[in-house]
Structure 1
């Protein structure tokens, strides 16, 4: 952009004494004569002794100005002494010489001049309101809290002493509001409102001290400058609120040895410049709110000084040039646009230049733009440097940011509605989290670096002439073509997904970085961090080599359909103690499921040291399998059956192993939980909860119940030995009717992890038999039973209802007898099985029938010893059970179908029974009995059931019941009493003892013979 080389000519006030140079010579002669004539007229007319308005009187350097203003009578009050002078005002003082001409107050002193008004006086002069001149040492001090007005100057102060201090309220001058010349030391001007036709305030300090101007109101110089300050001393400080000037609102020229500081809090406006500051001293700093200039809003030039600092908090506008024009030839430049600030210009929002090696720092928290609002026009122009432009979060910059030929940096965290142009030099463009670039970024010549931090998706067509890429955090995705030929891409932190094509000489994945994507990388890759192909499931192609360094991680995602991430390498893969992390989708995986995750054309050298996954499982493990230039992950399952604490639990687990490939519905949910949510204890508990082994208890229980009723027939047959077959030749008492009540308990101990159980049975038996000839008696027995089953460690309960029928007969041949029987039992079985697992609990119901056929044959021989009878016994017993198949109800997928079962037993018995006969008198006879039998089972197979889950009929498994007994010992005691051999009462107790099994039975009944 072009810029004016100089400002328009400035109308300087002559530095010599105004009255000695600007008043004509004839006026110098006439003025004393006029004053004398006035005095004489006054004396002659009698007015001399009246109180004149607006007069200053005193002596010996101390004067008091009193009386109110009178524009008709007031004349210039002049005090000119060759010594220090102090002037104060009385209350009500005022002066107005606008009619009679001249200054209102003209004070001259040598050695110090002090003018103090604390009475809100009104001072009006035709030429100057106050003219003050201190010709020698000490301070020139003017303090006015009233109003000062002059036709030319409001206040004109010239000091040759030490300090010049001016403190005023409102000051107005036709040409200048306040003019202050100082050849002493410090100048301090403090005002409220100041107005001048040319300048508001003109201050020139040629002394040895500082120049300070403070305005709390409005300062206006209509034609030229609101504030014009020239300093040749030390520091120049300007602090103002509102300033207006025809050329510039504030013009500051510091040629002194100190700093130049300008601070404005209101509105500053100038026809050419809002603020113009040029500094030859040390630091130049400007802090401004609202500034408007016809060309530049704010121009700051630091020629030979140190730092240049510009800070804005409002709207800064350069209508024809730049909003901020900052040149520093002596040191670093710092420009800060506040969060509530807008900087705009026709040529550029900001233009800055510094010498090479002098840093420029531009920070934007608010808005910067070209007045056109076009993204193709300049927003920020900067040259020299190095330059750092930071567009912070929340900022909005509209236009082009163009930098020079040094090693420059742009940090974009806000919004840039435009482009970036960086010329020669090793530049850096950093697009940060939340930053937005709507145009392009051109790195220009040199070795340039592009840096991203969580920028989302970026297109390579918008980033030109960059050689290096650096990732500093978050997630960044490259699409399109990225040509970084000759440079390096480095992922320091965060993730980089390459979904396009990336050309670079080397891509480095730092230890805190991640590389992913579905694109192509045309370079070698050296990984210290994570390489994770794909965006979800995908293939990342590297046309060079890949080196996995110590600490690196190869991360892959595995899907249920055997799809997986794949790293496809055109060169070789080298592995140096890296590890694999696998993310496995939650699904069911049969043993041997395989995913190909790495393929290298030139082979794989080395091995990953370990593999970890996103899941904890005691049934699934992932094993790496290296085959030439390929690496696969393969599922190595631990069977569910291995978690069974018993053979039956293992059998259930084996069925689940078979079901797994075809599982669906609730079964899938259960198996998923077993694979991904259960430890070994929970897996075992699940198998135990599903285990249907309780059904193996029903067959042996049914056989036992049938055997119990078979025993009732045996007891009836034993009673025949005490009942005469015939009484006399008339065949009396041929028939007998009998009945028994039965109670029994079977206890099966737990063994081999198979739960023990108890069967409690109660029932009744009714029979009728008769004699046939002298040797044979035969009969029929009917019975009913009800049994309850319970298991030692389970909540299950079962019941068996039995209906029994049996034919029995006995034949006697002297002391030898032969007994036989044939029976049938129908059993109605029901069970409530509680399925209790770590995942769910439910209740299954089963109902099924069993049928038992039994046959018994026994022989005895009687040895009589008086009233005692010793009877050796031998018998054989066969039981056949046919159990129906059935399907559990109430548990859907987890119910079982139990297949039908046929089983039989064959046992033999050898025993000895001792009986006695005792006469009780009155027709009663008592028969105590004791017996001891040994039973051996020739055939008694373990109860085995085939089962399957209801929806998986082909996946059968077998559960086995408790081991059957081979031998048992039966102990029996009995007592019967008959009356006249026609009525018999009896009571029997039996107990059977076997390994793990105990049976007890108590029965009692009655026989009536007729």
Structure 2
């Protein structure tokens, strides 16, 4: 007889062998019903599944029939499309895409069409073939009621995208050794299955805004994958638990740059170490549980709006924590390695929390009771924790909340998130750690961080103060930075910017602050305060402590004024024209140069900071003089010159020391009338541009570098030569000079804003010189001259010195007004006065505080007439 499987039997066979053969053949036929019901795709007319002319036999497969796509057809066979012009709904038996032949079998389901296959369907159903299926668009679905193989015996690819959906009981990638299966889910595509697993072949799943939805509880919902076979692209993967408890096996971890979202109200239990770097999102009502080696440590952050359960994980660690759900620690300690978020939910359990990097904020009411360790990064408690806290190394504890546990600080405690109060409702022990306080340093009511300890304090703690732009002010009680409710036995030591009279001090604008235990009015209160008070030996406040830079800012204008002074006519010319009779054949022009050097010490009459300073100045000047007009009454000489100046000042005060280095350059103009009667009038004008560096030796810091300044001045001098003998004469003289200097506003290295309010000088000079002149003719008949003179001067400054503003605080300096001075000088000319050298040495002192302020210097010049 002939069987349905195509085998033959004979009457000569024994009954036993006939029965056995029939049974075997019947079993094979039941397992392989393809031959009896298969409909093969030819695609000779179009790509439309529903067009029967595209199928062998002239009609499309129906219910229970097998649909074979690509079964040995020649190249050019059209791919299959279900839903060419609109939705189409088809139900068949088994579907095989890629059954044989050199051309891949290709199936596309689109336009909201649905395909239901009731048998075991597969992609790549025969060796050496490729089967590709694509489900795309909203409403487009393929439902396989049995097991679905992607890569059954060869190569299979399933693409689900743009809202398309595939449904199966079990989905297998790479069924046997030598086969390969690839799953690509993107743009809202959905794979809905009870089990998603790998086979013995090559398998790869890529998710780019894909959804994997469970249809039943399954502890190994995702299984038998390894390495990077579960790849999360930029759009990531959503696990829709659909209310079930599902999970992975211990090997099926996720990788890639995308993120993982858990939704659907169920539990997703991750048992495998996953190395994906995107975000982990746990939606409200859903739970992500880590078990054993299950880990998401490489994920950029965990957003736990649902439940994040690490109670069964081994050494759980995440980068950052956000959301408003719950974290279940159990007895485990969760480590946050690179925090950059705020978690508003509740962390509970007997376990602990460790922060090693980043900046993590907790704003909820947390109930976990294990130890909180901050060994790196920052933990801000803006809500509350019941845990004891230990800081170490570079770890920072901050925030504006409450810690219902003891705190041990070997790292940093920094109250607030800028300015704020952190409360420790327990005891505080410093073990060499630091209390970091931000404050707008000013008076008692200055905004500041505050550490409140309701219990006791013990141990040692360093205090670092960061001034947030405060200009400083005089304090009374002080700025409270630590409030102690219990026994205040802890020692807090300021880490200052410098040491002032044996105590560390921190700079705040124009003032400096030191740290004291106890208020002025309640010295036994145990609290800690910053005060800018200057104390006498008995400890009473007698003033304020100015910052070390303030003496430099106070004296800065005075240093510039020392370069902006005017000399006398004789100092500029060496007397080469005053005493010389004008002859018709005298040269009408002269070039000249001179060098001045001065050392001055100033002990001002009035100084806000009690500053004294020494200034060394050097000036090189070169100019050109020429006859502008000559008459029987006298001659008018005009001149222009260029000058280059340097000044180096050493500034000293009780409050700090430092130096100011200035260079300047500028131009001068002169106009002088020489009367033939011996009367003269000399006028000068000068413009100078300055560049200055200010450095505090007390702070060992540069306060200003390359600060620009400008000065100008005018001077008028008049005198009358009175001849006593042919060689001796007296010249009474008077001079009035106005000088004004300015420098650009700047902000120093400690945030103090420095500007100049006033720095003008109006100085009068009364002097009388005694002169001795000698002339002779040399061997060639040319005249040579030698002159010697001495001058006594009185100086008086009619203005009030300078005022600088340091972050709103005015500091003034006014030198002694009345000075006296003596000068000795001389000149030597030859070749009918064509060449001349001249020099002068001088000394000046304040008269009221004789010698307290003084200056000495010398000037040397050379001129050539032509």
Give the TM-score band, short-chain normalised: 0.5 to 0.7
Selected match of 1:905 from 768, 776, 789: 768
Aligned equivalents of 2:776 and 2:268: distance in 1?
A: 127
SS at match of 1:523: coil
Give the match for residue 881 of structure 1.
734
Aligned match of 1:457: 342
Q: The residue matched to 1:796 in structure 2 has which SS?
A: strand
Residues 742 and 1002, structure 1, Cα contact 8 Å, conserved in 2 = no
Equivalent position SS for 1:795: strand
Q: 1:431 to 1:904 in 2, by over 3 A?
A: same
How far residue 226 of structure 1 moved from its aligned partner, in angstroms, is 0.7
- Residue 563 (structure 2) pairs with residue 693 (structure 1): yes
Return the alpha-carbon distance in structure 1 between the equivalents of residues 589 and 92 of structure 2: 132
Question: Do 1:524 and 1:544's aligned partners in 2 also have CA atoms closer than 8 Å?
Answer: yes
Distance 1:310 1:427, change over 3 A: farther
Partners of 1:175 and 1:789 in 2: CA distance:
112
Instruction: Pick closer, same or farther for the CA change 1:929–1:606 going to 2, 3 Å.
Output: closer
Q: How does 1:336-355 map to 2 (within 5 A)?
A: 348=242, 350-352=244-246
Q: Which residue of 1 aligns with 2:120?
A: 227
Q: Which residue in 2 is equivalent to 1:443?
A: 328
TM-superposed deviation, 1:507: 1.2
Q: C-alpha distance in 1, partners of 2:831/2:61?
A: 146
Matched, 1:797 2:667: yes
2:823 equivalent among 965, 969, 972 = 965
Of 464, 471, 489, 1:603 maps to 489
1:383-422 → structure 2 map (5 Å cutoff)? 393=278, 400-402=285-287, 419-420=306-307
What secondary structure sits across from 2:426 in the alignment? coil
CA gap 1:641/1:224 in 2 versus in 1, 3 angstroms: closer
Give the Cα separation in 2 of the matches to 1:421 and 1:738.
108
Within-5 A mapping of 1:209-608:
226-227=119-120, 249-250=145-146, 265=158, 274-276=168-170, 298-300=193-195, 322-323=214-215, 325-327=217-219, 348=242, 350-352=244-246, 378-381=264-267, 393=278, 400-402=285-287, 419-420=306-307, 432-433=319-320, 437=323, 440-441=325-326, 443=328, 449=334, 453-460=338-345, 462-463=346-347, 467-484=351-368, 486-504=369-387, 506-549=388-431, 552-559=433-440, 561=442, 563-570=447-454, 571-575=456-460, 583-585=466-468, 597-598=481-482, 600=484, 602-605=488-491, 607=493
Q: Matches of 2:348 and 2:566 in 1, distance apart?
A: 80
Q: Deviations over 1:58-108 (max 9, x none)?
A: xxxxxxxxxxxxxxxxxx986447999xxxxxxxxxxxxxxxxxxxxxxx9
Task: Give 1:851's aligned residue.
Answer: 718
In 2, distance between residues paired with 1:829 and 1:350? 98
3-state SS of paired residue (1:508) = strand
The secondary structure found in structure 2 opposite 1:750 is: strand
Tell me the CA shift for residue 784 of structure 1.
3.9
Q: Distance in 1 between matches of 2:721 and 2:733?
A: 6
Whether the 8 Å CA contact 1:596–1:633 is kept in 2: the answer is no
Residues 1:327 and 1:946: Cα distance change in structure 2 (over 3 Å): closer
Residue range with higher mean Cα deviation, 561-570 or 826-835: 561-570
Name the residue aligned to 1:750: 597
1: CA distance, partners of 2:828 / 2:329 = 110
Change (3 A) 1:888 1:497: closer
Q: How big is the shift at 1:432?
A: 5.0
Residue 814 of structure 2 corresponds to residue 956 of structure 1:
yes
Matches of 2:819 and 2:255 in 1, distance apart?
Answer: 85
Indicate conservation of the 8 Å contact 1:526/1:548, yes or no.
yes
Structure 1: tracts of 5 or more residues without a match:
1-16, 23-75, 85-107, 113-130, 155-168, 179-189, 203-214, 230-237, 254-258, 291-295, 371-377, 643-652, 660-686, 717-736, 768-780, 808-822, 861-872, 917-925, 976-986, 1005-1010
* Bigger CA radius of gyration: 1
Alpha carbons of structure 1 residues 174 and 369: separation in structure 2 relative to 1, 3 Å:
same
Residue-by-residue CA offset, 1:93-125 (whole Å, 9 max, x unaligned): xxxxxxxxxxxxxxx99999xxxxxxxxxxxxx
Structure 2 CA distance for partners of 1:500 and 1:930, relative to 1, 3 Å: closer
* 1:280-336, Cα deviation, whole Å (9 max, x unpaired): xx99x998779xxxxx9534599xx99xx9979698887xxx43542569x999996
Q: 1:941 deviation in Å? A: 6.3
Give the Å deviation of 1:623: 7.7
TM-score, scaled to structure 1: 0.49
Native 8 Å contact 2:667 2:686 kept in 1: yes
Aligned mates of 1:835, 1:404 — CA distance in 2: 70
Counterpart-to-counterpart distance in 1, 2:798 and 2:399: 56
Compared with structure 1, are the counterparts of its residues 450 and 549 closer, same or farther at alpha carbon in structure 2 (3 Å cutoff)?
same
**8 Å contact kept, 1:529–1:553:** yes
TM-score of the two chains, using structure 2 as the length reference: 0.55
Aligned equivalents of 2:690, 2:302: Cα separation in 1: 63
Q: Which runs of 5+ in 2 are unaligned?
A: 40-54, 74-79, 81-89, 97-103, 108-114, 123-129, 136-140, 161-165, 186-190, 500-505, 519-526, 533-544, 600-615, 646-663, 693-704, 746-755, 805-809, 842-857
* Aligned 8 A contact 1:448 1:465 in 2: no
Question: 2: distance between equivalents of 1:655 and 1:246?
Answer: 88
Q: Mapping of 1:568-967 within 5 angstroms?
A: 568-570=452-454, 571-575=456-460, 583-585=466-468, 597-598=481-482, 600=484, 602-605=488-491, 607=493, 625=515, 627=517, 630=528, 632=530, 637-639=547-549, 654-656=554-556, 690-698=560-568, 701=571, 709=578, 711=579, 747=594, 749-752=596-599, 753-756=616-619, 757=621, 782=634, 784-788=636-640, 791=643, 793=645, 795-805=665-675, 824-837=679-692, 839=706, 841=708, 844-858=711-725, 875=728, 877-885=730-738, 887=740, 896-907=759-770, 909=772, 935=789, 939-940=792-793, 948=801, 955-957=813-815, 964-966=822-824
- Cα 1:327–1:198 shift into 2, 3 Å: farther
How far does residue 901 in structure 1 lie from its aligned partner after superposition? 0.9
By how many angstroms is 1:633 displaced? 8.5
Cα deviation code 1:532-589 (max 9, x no counterpart): 2222233333333444546x5544434354644343444325337xx66554446766
Contact 2:301–2:318 under 8 Å retained in 1: no
Alpha-carbon contact 1:490-1:507 (below 8 Å) kept: yes
User: How has the CA–CA distance of structure 1 residues 959 and 582 changed in structure 2, closer, same or farther, with 3 Å as cutoff?
Assistant: farther
**Matched-pair contact (CA < 8 Å) for 2:265–2:286:** yes
Structure 1 pair 790–522 and aligned structure 2 pair: CA distance change class (3 A): same
In 2: Cα distance, 1:228 partner to 1:741 partner: 119
Assess, with a 3 A threshold, how the Cα gap between structure 1 residues 343 and 694 changes in structure 2: closer, same or farther.
closer
Q: Cα distance, 1:382 vs. partner?
A: 5.7
Question: How many pairs does the alignment contain?
Answer: 669
SS of the equivalent of 2:566 reads: helix
Greater relative CO, 1 or 2 (CA 8 Å, sep 6+): 2
**Residues 948, 954 of structure 1: 8 Å contact kept:** yes
Change (3 A) 1:300 1:575: same
The aligned counterpart of 1:676 is none
* 8 Å Cα contact 1:703/1:852 also seen in 2: no
**Residues 362 and 383, structure 2, Cα contact 8 Å, conserved in 1:** yes
Bigger share in helix: 1
Deviations for 1:249-287, whole angstroms, at most 9, x for unmatched residues?
Answer: 32599xxxxx999988479xxxx9932599xxx99x998
Q: Secondary structure at the match of 1:348?
A: coil
Measured on the aligned residues, the alpha-carbon RMSD in Å equals 7.2
Find the aligned partners of 1:197 and 1:897 in 2 and give their Cα distance: 102
Q: Deviations over 1:352-371 (max 9, x none)?
A: 3799xx8997999688777x
- Aligned partners of 1:963, 1:250: CA distance in 2, in Å? 115
